[in-house]
Chain A
Amino acid sequence: MRAEDLYRAMEGIDDELILRSEHRIETAREEEEAERRKKRKAKNSRARFQRYFTIAATTAAAVFLLLMARELAGVRGLKSAKSSNLTSGSVTQSQDEQYMAEAAEEAMAEDAQEEAMPETDYESAEDSVQESDSVQSEDTGSPVEAEVPDDESAQDKSLAENAGKTAVDLLGEMADEYVSLEYISAEDEAKGGSRTVPDYTRAGEAALSAAFESGRAEPSFLANKGKPVYYVYLTRKGGEVNKATFYENEYISLDSIPGVVMKISHAEYEAVMQLFR
């Protein structure tokens, strides 16, 4: 076999490969172009990631600050709530009284622990109870609460704390005097229906409070909360109204805490929703 024979035998090379070898220059250029495109894409991707990261970090910081503010307001609100009557004289009903009675029983059971509380807290709570009593007696004229004996101050203190804590948990930084609670379904509100005024103002607050306490805060724009289902309106003594919104995917929000919704458990959602259906 001579080199010439081998050279002639090169005709056995596939036509496709012969063509492909001619197109190599174009392919190389295409590869270069593809490489440039790839680099450009990676650069854009990095820029997009940085942009999203900045947005996410800013949102997280904002949520954190909101939650911190809520916590701080909750502590401050506790003090003011202790000195405030959270029920309206016109709407204080049997369920509220039942709730108060239950709280009093719990307070009695924990009497020994409460006696061990610091002097300043005790005095503060006592003051709050006294103020609360006076407000209630002025607003409602309720003989039950106005005639609480002095020797039951420990029970009153616990009661006031429970009531105040309930309101604080529910309302966060908005702790103030609430004089009424109303609710309405989103559907009825859209139709122009009237709100329901229940006979369990404080119990409703407590249930809402518990729901909020058990919830997990999420940025509103990220949460898959669904459509609003029910609204609960809480009116302050000064006439200012705060609105709690229940969503179909078991989220709750307060209009005074914009941008944040609370994700609560199904059981908690059902429990609190029973009060407002």
Chain B
Amino acid sequence: MEDTAIIDLYWKRDERAIEETDRKYGNYCYTVADNILRSREDSEECVSDTWLRAWNSMPPQRPSILRAFLAKITRNLAFDRYRARSAAKRGNGTMEAVLDELAECADTSGNWDAVEAYEAKELGEAIGRFARELPDKEARLFVRRYFFSEATSDIARRYQMTENNVTVSLSRIRKKLRKFLAEGGFM
């Protein structure tokens, strides 16, 4: 079924919308969640939560790209679940590695009110702008690693690169991001 038809079902409050979404994007959303959670049970629950969030979001929202819209919901829910699960204990998985890497670009002085800025979407818009300005290849690496939280080995396989090459490229991208955020007043 076409995405527009699925969205129409949501807007008509037709429960087949969730069936069609699960049929078409179930595996995809599961992968997005599993990249973060690394748990089958948690990922499946996260996907179910995604359908509920989508049901509550449409209407009023009518996403132009349903796939990306669902990915963002799943990612957000998965990250919430990740934070709740690992509040007491941090592991050594991919997600931890991603957060460690991003910590290089984060402000440790505590001068910037992240929550407020995030709510104002300033930081999100800045990140979107940063990704747009990156060369295509780097932009894709950046998205795979820091949006989808993919392991470097998976990214290397996806783009037919060596893992070392991916790691080096990501390191350069982080340097650019840090400079970009500093220039934008986020640090």
How many chain A residues touch B (CB < 8 A): the figure is: 24
Does B52 lie at the interface of the complex (its beta carbon under 8 Å from any beta carbon of A)?
Answer: no
Taking a contact as CB atoms under 8 Å apart, the answer to whether A21 and B139 are in contact is yes
In the complex, what distance in Å separates the CA atom of A14 from the CA atom of B71?
12
Taking a contact as CB atoms under 8 Å apart, the answer to whether A10 and B106 are in contact is no
Contact of B147 among A2, A4, A5, A13 (CB under 8 A): A13
Taking a contact as CB atoms under 8 Å apart, the answer to whether A17 and B125 are in contact is no
Residues of A within 8 A of B101 (CB): 3
Given contact pairs A3-B100, A15-B68, A9 touches B131 in the complex (Cβ within 8 A): no
B105-132 residues at the A interface, CB under 8 angstroms: 105-107, 112, 114-115, 117-118, 121, 123-128, 131-132
What mask results when residues 1 to 45 of chain A are scored 1 for a CB within 8 Å of chain B, else 0? 111111111111111111111001100100000000000000000
Smallest CB gap from B128: residue in A: A12
Taking a contact as CB atoms under 8 Å apart, the answer to whether B140 and A24 are in contact is yes
Does B24 lie at the interface of the complex (its beta carbon under 8 Å from any beta carbon of A)?
Answer: no
Residues of B within 8 A of A16 (CB): 65, 68
Residues on B facing A (Cβ under 8 Å): 63-65, 67-69, 71-72, 75-76, 79, 83, 98-103, 105-107, 112, 114-115, 117-118, 121, 123-128, 131-132, 136, 139-140, 143-144, 146-148, 158-160, 186-187
In the complex, what distance in Å separates the CA atom of A17 from the CA atom of B65?
11
Taking a contact as CB atoms under 8 Å apart, the answer to whether B127 and A13 are in contact is yes
Taking a contact as CB atoms under 8 Å apart, the answer to whether B65 and A2 are in contact is no
Given contact pairs A10-B147, A13-B143, A24 touches B117 in the complex (Cβ within 8 A): no
In the complex, what distance in Å separates the CA atom of A11 from the CA atom of B127?
8
Tell me the minimal C-beta distance from A12 to chain B in angstroms.
3
In the complex, what distance in Å separates the CA atom of A106 from the CA atom of B70?
103
Smallest CB gap from A29: residue in B: B160
Taking a contact as CB atoms under 8 Å apart, the answer to whether A1 and B67 are in contact is no
Contact of A18 among B68, B106, B115, B126 (CB under 8 A): B68
Given contact pairs A1-B107, A5-B106, A6-B106, A18 touches B143 in the complex (Cβ within 8 A): yes
In the complex, what distance in Å separates the CA atom of A18 from the CA atom of B187?
26
In the complex, what distance in Å separates the CA atom of A18 from the CA atom of B66?
12
New A-B pairs, 12, CB < 8 Å, besides A8-B76, A17-B139: A5-B114, A6-B127, A7-B79, A12-B128, A13-B147, A15-B63, A18-B68, A18-B143, A19-B68, A20-B139, A21-B144, A25-B159
Smallest CB gap from A6: residue in B: B102
A-B Cβ contacts below 8 A, count: 108
Taking a contact as CB atoms under 8 Å apart, the answer to whether A17 and B114 are in contact is no
Residues of A within 8 A of B148 (CB): 21
Smallest CB gap from B68: residue in A: A15
- In order of increasing CB-CB distance, the 4 nearest A-B pairs are A12-B124, A15-B68, A5-B114, A12-B128
Taking a contact as CB atoms under 8 Å apart, the answer to whether A9 and B126 are in contact is yes
Taking a contact as CB atoms under 8 Å apart, the answer to whether B79 and A12 are in contact is no
Contact of A15 among B65, B102, B103, B117 (CB under 8 A): B65
Residues of B within 8 A of A25 (CB): 158-159
Smallest CB gap from B143: residue in A: A21
Taking a contact as CB atoms under 8 Å apart, the answer to whether B71 and A18 are in contact is yes
Smallest CB gap from B160: residue in A: A28
Taking a contact as CB atoms under 8 Å apart, the answer to whether A12 and B99 are in contact is no
Residues of B within 8 A of A20 (CB): 136, 139-140
Smallest CB gap from B121: residue in A: A12
Contact of A19 among B65, B75, B102, B115 (CB under 8 A): B65
Q: List 17 A-B contacts (CB under 8 A).
A: A1-B123, A1-B186, A3-B100, A3-B101, A4-B79, A6-B127, A7-B98, A10-B124, A12-B123, A12-B128, A15-B64, A17-B131, A17-B143, A18-B71, A18-B147, A21-B140, A21-B148
Taking a contact as CB atoms under 8 Å apart, the answer to whether A7 and B146 are in contact is yes
Given contact pairs A5-B115, A7-B99, A14 touches B131 in the complex (Cβ within 8 A): yes
Tell me the minimal C-beta distance from B91 to chain A in angstroms.
15
Residues of B within 8 A of A11 (CB): 72, 75-76, 124, 147
Residues of A within 8 A of B67 (CB): 15, 18-19
Taking a contact as CB atoms under 8 Å apart, the answer to whether B146 and A3 are in contact is no
Residues of A within 8 A of B102 (CB): 3, 6-7
In the complex, what distance in Å separates the CA atom of A17 from the CA atom of B128?
9
Smallest CB gap from A32: residue in B: B160
